[in-house]
C-alpha cells in the first residue's frame, strides 16, 4: 500500500489536504480516454466535463467524493485554499458518483496562474449522510476556503480510503480544445 501513498506525499496532497492514511478502496478516474494517474498533467479543456469515476467497495458501503484545488488562486499564494470543485455524498460502493447525492456540481479546472493540483479524495461513510442542500448555480462563495479535513470532521468521516490528484495549468487561448 505504501506505493499508493508515496505520490500523494511527494505531491504534498498528504499534508496540504489530508492527513497520512492507508488506501483501502480502489478508485479509478478517467477524463475521456485518459486514465488518471497521480501527478499526471491534464489540460483544463480535457477536464472540462465531469470525469468517469469508479469507486470499489460493497454495494451497501457508502462513500463521499470531494475534489478540491489546494493551490487557488496561485500555488505560491494559495489564499483561497481549498477551492471546492465537486462534492458528492452517499455514493454506493462499486458504482460511480452519479449514483450518489450531488451537493456541489462538478467544476473543471480553471487555473489562473501556475501549475495547480486537483485532488479527489474518497471517504467511507459510517452511515447515510443527510446531504447538505445542493449548491445553487453561481454560488461561488461556497466553493472558496473549503477544508476537506473540516468537512470530514464535521461529518465523522475519519481518514480517507482513497485519493488521487492531477496537475493542470492555464492553456494558451489558441491551444484549447474546441467542441
Strands 27-31 and 52-55: antiparallel
Other Cβ atoms less than 10 A from the Cβ of 58: the count is 8
Average pLDDT rounded to a whole number, residues 10-33: 95
Enter the C-alpha cell of residue 73: 488562486
Does the pLDDT value for residue 1 go beyond 50? no
DSSP H or E stretch at residue 65: strand 62-69
Average pLDDT rounded to a whole number, residues 147-171: 95
Most confident of 46-60, 136-150, 165-179: 46-60
Please name which of 141, 116, 96 lies closest in space to residue 44, comparing C-alpha atoms. Answer: 116
| The CATH number of domain 2-166 is 3.90.280.10 | yes
The pLDDT value given to residue 141 = 77
Helices and strands (H, E) in the chain, number of each type: 3, 9
User: Which pLDDT tens digit goes with each residue over 117-134?
Assistant: 999 999 999 999 987 766
User: Which pLDDT tens digit goes with each residue over 33-49?
Assistant: 999 999 999 999 999 99
State residue 53 phi and psi, 5-degree precision. Answer: -120, 135
Q: How many residues does the chain have?
A: 179
Please name which of 53, 43, 62 lies closest in space to residue 171, comparing C-alpha atoms. Answer: 43
Give this prediction's pTM. 0.91
Does the pLDDT value for residue 5 go beyond 90? no
Please tell me the distance from the alpha carbon of residue 161 to that of residue 153, in angstroms, as a whole number: 15
Domain ranges of the chain: 2-166
Amino acid at each position: 500500500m505504501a506505493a499508493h501513498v508515496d505520490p500523494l506525499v511527494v505531491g504534498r496532497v498528504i499534508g496540504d489536504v489530508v492527513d497520512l492514511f492507508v488506501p483501502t478502496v480502489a478508485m479509478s478516474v478517467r477524463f475521456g480516454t485518459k486514465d488518471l494517474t497521480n501527478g499526471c498533467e491534464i489540460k483544463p479543456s480535457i477536464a472540462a466535463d465531469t470525469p468517469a469515476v469508479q469507486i470499489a467497495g460493497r454495494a451497501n458501503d457508502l462513500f463521499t467524493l470531494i475534489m478540491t484545488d489546494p493551490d487557488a488562486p496561485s500555488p505560491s499564494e494559495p489564499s483561497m485554499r481549498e477551492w471546492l470543485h465537486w462534492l458528492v455524498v452517499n455514493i454506493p460502493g462499486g458504482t460511480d458518483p452519479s449514483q450518489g447525492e450531488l451537493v456541489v456540481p462538478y467544476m473543471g479546472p480553471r487555473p489562473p496562474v501556475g501549475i495547480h493540483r486537483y485532488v479527489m479524495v474518497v471517504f467511507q461513510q459510517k452511515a447515510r449522510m443527510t446531504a447538505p442542500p445542493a449548491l445553487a448555480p453561481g454560488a461561488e462563495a461556497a466553493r472558496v476556503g473549503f477544508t476537506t479535513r473540516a468537512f470530514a470532521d464535521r461529518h465523522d468521516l475519519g481518514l480517507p480510503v482513497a485519493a488521487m490528484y492531477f496537475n493542470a495549468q492555464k492553456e494558451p487561448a489558441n491551444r484549447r480544445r474546441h467542441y
